Amino acid sequence: MTKNLLIEDQYKRTSLFEKENVNYLVRVLKRFNTVPKINNINIITSTSQPNVFKIVPNKSIIIGTSFLNQPVLALVYLRYGIEWQLWYKALNEDKKDTVLCDISALEATRIFYKLLPKDDKEKLEPIDCFLLNLIKKDEQLDTESLLNYEGLQQFHGLIKTNNVFKESWKPIVENLAKPTEYLLMSGGDLRLNIDEIQLLNKYGCRPFPRPEAFTFASSTATSVSNFAFDKTDKTRSILIKNSLKNGFKNTTIEFSELLKNNLKKTFRLNNESEIIFSPSGTDSSLQIAAITQITSNKEITHVLVASDETGSGVPSALKGCHFENTTALNFPIKKGDKIEGFRDVDLIEIPFKNEHGDLKSAAQMDEEVFEAISKTNKLGRHVVLHTMDQSKLGYQSPSAEMIKRLNKLKNLSIQIIVDGSQLRLDPKDLQNYLNKGYIVTITGSKYFTGPPYSGALILPKNVSKLIRSVKKTLPSGLTQYYNHSDWPTSWSCSDNLSDGFNYGSYMRWNAAIVEMDRYYKTPVLYRNMGIEMFCNFVEDSINEASFLEPIYGNETNKNTYNSEEFGLRSIRTIFPFFILQNNKVLSVNNVKKLYILLNSDLSDKFKDAPLEIIRLASQKCHIGQAVNVKYSNEIESAILRISLGARVISESWVNRDISIFFRNIENQMNQITVIIKKIELILNTPDLLD
């Protein structure tokens, strides 16, 4: 928007800026940042008509000053007005189809209203006005009945226009008349749902930017950045326009292929490799299980390395079982039940830790993996070896030497899968794996800090060629999980799957690829120096804190791969640690409680404390969530993690200025210091953990 007069003209004329109102107003205005940004649309406040709300098509939105006394109401009305303008701009040369704008703006604003915090909705409850009453109706939108709402037409005054709702609009409205933040949390499963107070999901993330938090949680999940959110929001506008011009299906297929091609360009992958997007890393495991079922007639054994550090649902997915009670396509299912069409398989799990909780050596891991595959091979079974290239705690297994040993086994039928879900890999690493014929699983939501639930499989040329030649179809139960459009168009095996498109998955990948693009725009020398600088500081900071005990040593960092060349695989970027209180490790429950406290504003617990303490307590700090790990072989506890994410680098590279780059890295290092100090503050306030 080129001009925003909403607040500027009101500073001296309302009570909004009284002390007790400022924090509330600031919070509401932060949410205003999730409203689409449209060029050349002015927001004008009217004092002469305090109750007016008017949309001047393609020019402005006029809102009366009385709305500003109720900021949440103003926010909702402006969300409607700007959404209407967005759809109006997207219309083709014929601007008579304003009923589409009315319906789409109302649908998007209804969802926006549902995503407001509970306190804000309570403030709107007693207000009686036409638009708000329409928005608050919790019922399925009926486009036919909406054509009769003349009140919507009164907002823009374009009454004598086309009032026919075209059938071609239906999929466009169903998929794109939704706020970007809603799209970023759709098409996954219930773990993406947010609470109604803090608007955080299970992973402590929001589906829209959270710049007020210090965030080093990339080993788990991260809230979307302002940069990626704005780019993705703009993409939604483009998709609306292209869908109205070229048709929804064609536009969506082109968008999906564009995302895959951009991902290939980012990592300089061979064009003959195939990419399959999935709602999550666990869904990628289910896709692998399905592919294996149709490409091998032998009995199948999955050998899952690092089974104690993969997603909790991965073992079930590999056995062809439901791993949640709801699928990404929102089908209700029963966790643990066999998915229709899957035949029985064997699963051998090889954890990083032994029964006492001790981390195994690289040699031990190699021997266990080799023995499992040797025995399975003698039985004449097809082996699917799932290797780990950086787990949630930063471990890798098996070694390249062990893989070479496998080549000496006679008549070995094997497919190697590389779990690269953390994506702490450089382009050359992915290229190397694919050249060897390995399938690689990745996510855009870990190292590259895209929104949670951005999974993908990358398949090498030889595997894709094999699947294209297969006459079988994927297990029938996958119609509850995936659409036909999720799979490569050259494969006939997916013809039995559902029609439709998972826009949530596409939008999350769009945001992730945006992050990848700006990360790789940082010159490699400065990027690598910044990584070394930041990671060395985190390691030293944890070591120096007497109440933190790191669980990594010389071996666990690079116990498999040794190289003098710099690479993400040759430096520790995930830093897990135990937390001690009075020299005793915290219980599992207290670690999880501390994790939540760390990610919350605790200033109300320190009202009488010095200002410095209040500021520290108020700072929200988001780090990697708790992972259960035994302490000293026998005590049940859990660790938290501070991790390097791509944004540490990309958000520091500003205006191609080297001095600013390193200063920005230092600023983020200072945030690490604050996080550790807040952990100490919580530990020194025992009541918080009681």
Residue 75 lies in domain: 8-165
Mind listing the pLDDT tens digit for each residue in 589-637?
Answer: 999 999 999 999 999 999 999 999 999 999 999 999 999 999 987 799 9
Mean pLDDT of the chain: 91
Q: Rounded distance, CA 523 to CA 529, Å?
A: 10
**Do residues 394 and 557 touch, judged by C-beta distance below 8 A?**
yes
The first and second tokens of residue 437, run together, are: 């014929």
- What is the model's pLDDT at position 362? 92
Asked if 474 contacts 290 with a C-beta cutoff of 8 angstroms, the reply is yes
| Residues 664 and 620 both lie in one domain | yes
Burial of 243 (0-12, 13-18, 19+ CB in 10 A): buried
Structure tokens at 617: 């307590």
b/e map 274-301, b = 16+ CB within 10 Å = bbbbbbbbbbbbbbbbbbbbbbbeeebb
Let me know if residue 193 belongs to a domain: no
Strands ordered across the beta sheet of 60-64: 42-46, 60-64, 53-56
Are residues 386 and 480 located together in one domain of the fold?
Answer: yes
Cα-based distances in Å from 115 to 75, 205, 207, 224, 599:
13, 14, 10, 16, 20
On whether both 507 and 527 belong to a single domain, the answer is no
Q: Does residue 525 share a domain with residue 477? A: no
DSSP output for 437-486 = T-EEEEESSSTT-PPS--EEEEE-HHHHHHHHH------GGGGGT-BGGG
- 349, 401, 409, 419 from 406: Cα distances, Å: 18, 9, 5, 19
Neighbour tally for 234: CB within 10 Å = 15
Quick one: how far is CA 675 from the chain centroid? 22
Within 10 A of 249 (CB to CB), how many other CB atoms are there? 14
What predicted TM-score, i.e. pTM, was given to this entire model? 0.93
- Whether residues 137 and 153 share a domain: the answer is yes
CA 81, 85, 88 angle in degrees (round to 5)?
140
Helix axes 658-683, 524-544, angle to 10 degrees: 20
pLDDT score for 557? 41
The number of distinct structural domains making up the chain is: 3
- Which residues make beta-bridge pairs with 385? 303, 416
pLDDT value of residue 5: 46
pLDDT tens readout for residues 424-467: 999 999 999 999 999 999 999 999 999 999 999 999 999 999 99
| 433 and 332 inside one domain | yes
What is the tally of helices (H) and strands (E) in the chain? Answer: 24, 17
DSSP states of 243-284 as a string? HHHH-HHHHHHHHHHHHHHHHHHHTT--TTSEEEEESSHHHH
Domain boundary, last residue among 135, 165, 195: 165
pLDDT above 70: residue 415: yes
559 and 681: one domain? yes
Residue 225 belongs to some domain of the structure: no
Token pair of 653 as six digits: 């590279």
Taking 60 as the threshold, does the pLDDT of residue 554 lie above it? Answer: no
Residue type, 133: N
Express each pLDDT in 9-58 by its tens digit: 544 545 555 666 667 777 787 888 888 999 889 999 888 999 999 999 99
Claim to verify: residue 295 and residue 441 sit in the same structural domain: yes
Q: Is residue 231 assigned to a domain? A: no
Burial class (CB in 10 A: 0-12, 13-18, 19+), 228: buried
Name the more confident of 129 and 673.
673
Last residue of a domain, one of 165, 193, 220: 165
Residue 90 near residue 72 (C-beta atoms within 8 A) = no
Give the pLDDT score at 17: 59
DSSP state of 110: H
What radius of gyration do the chain's Cα atoms show?
27
Tokens of 352: 């990083």
* Residue 142 domain-assigned (yes or no): yes
Residues 246-295: tens digit of each pLDDT = 999 999 999 999 999 999 999 999 989 999 999 888 999 999 999 999 99
How far does the chain reach from its first CA to its final CA, in angstroms?
49
Same domain for 670 and 653, yes or no, is yes
Q: What share of the chain is helix, strand, coil (3-state, %, to 5)?
A: 45, 15, 40
Compute how many other C-beta atoms are within 10 angstroms of the C-beta atom of residue 662: 15
Contact between 504 and 186 (Cβ < 8 Å): yes
Sign of CA dihedral 568, 569, 570, 575: positive
Q: Are residues 420 and 527 in the same domain?
A: no
Residue 575 lies in a domain: yes
Asked if residues 221 and 203 have their Cβ atoms less than 8 Å apart, the reply is yes
DSSP, res 14: S
Residue type, 56: V
Tokens of 336: 């643990």
Residues 462 and 352 in one domain: yes
Residue 92 lies in a domain: yes
pLDDT at 163: 74
CATH number where 388 lies: 3.40.640.10
Q: Give domain status of residue 412, yes or no.
A: yes
Model confidence at 3, in pLDDT bands (50, 70, 90)?
very low
Final residue belonging to a domain, choices 490, 517, 544: 517
Asked if residue 633 and residue 586 are part of one domain, the reply reads yes
For residue 427, is it within any domain? yes
Contact status, residue 69 vs residue 97, Cβ threshold 8 Å: no
